[in-house]
Amino acid sequence: MTKIMRVVRPSFRLFLTSGATLALVCSTTIRAQEATMATIKGEDEYTISGSTECGREATSTIKPGERFLARELSYGKKDWAVYLRSGVSGTIPRNRIRVLQDEPLTKLNFAGCKEKWRKLQSKRIKDDTAAQAGYHGVANYYKTLVQISDGDVKAFAQFNSLTPFMDGAAGEGHSEDKWVLLHVAGDDTFAKLLAGQSSKVREEYATHFAEGDTYPISNPKPYIKLHFPKTYAILYGK
């Protein structure tokens, strides 16, 4: 019995040590991949070739001292994804990034998405999200998004009615559009839209934003509280 204890106890300590090490590595990985504010390292400008948040190709030159949101693409990689105030995003080598950990995150710019929705609402060929929405009673999905961004409560209710039925690629698109709509509509409009919905819908949004598609923001509640205080108060209280 004594021999067994001598074998088991060191193994158990080894297990705890390994577990603690794994937890530390995972924690470090998560922290490394959280969004942060940053600026260019050095005195030279840096030009990125990327796109706007809704897919239009674009280039932008970042000047020394210019602040932007940045996030490591994956742990141990050399490049970081950057999100400029103009709405252009792209990648920058890690050695050109100076992280500003104590600065609050700037608000993402999804303004170009409304322009894209206006174009898509007149197209006959529909993507997966629009096609599945049509099957479930929302004939023009992108027109509905434009209407919601303008404060149309009825359109918002139609959009929310799709949530239980959207799956696969269509479900992913619909889920991401909730985050985009928050930004395109703005705090005042989105808070009014939420106020006109049932408590169940508001609870679903609270859970969705806390756990759902809010990329590149991995910790969305402080971000929402900072940039969308009225929406935050409705979803999470003061």
pLDDT in tens, 120-167: 998 887 899 999 999 999 999 999 999 999 999 999 999 999 999 999
Helix or strand holding residue 177 (H, E): helix 168-185
Nearest to 134, CA basis, from 113, 151, 158, 157:
158
pTM score of the predicted model: 0.83
pLDDT in tens, 181-192: 999 999 999 999
Give 28 or 158, the one with higher predicted confidence. Answer: 158
User: Contact at 8 Å (CB) between 43 and 64?
Assistant: yes
138 and 181 both lie in a single domain: yes
Domain stops at, among 79, 100, 121: 100
Structural domain includes residue 26:
no
Instruction: Name the residue range of residue 86's domain.
Output: 36-100
Strands (E), 65-191: 68-72, 79-83, 88-93, 97-100
The pLDDT mean for the chain works out to 85
Question: Does 48 share its domain with 145?
Answer: no
Mean pLDDT within 205-214: 90
Instruction: Quick: pLDDT tens for 216-225.
Output: 998 999 999 9
pLDDT at 24: 35
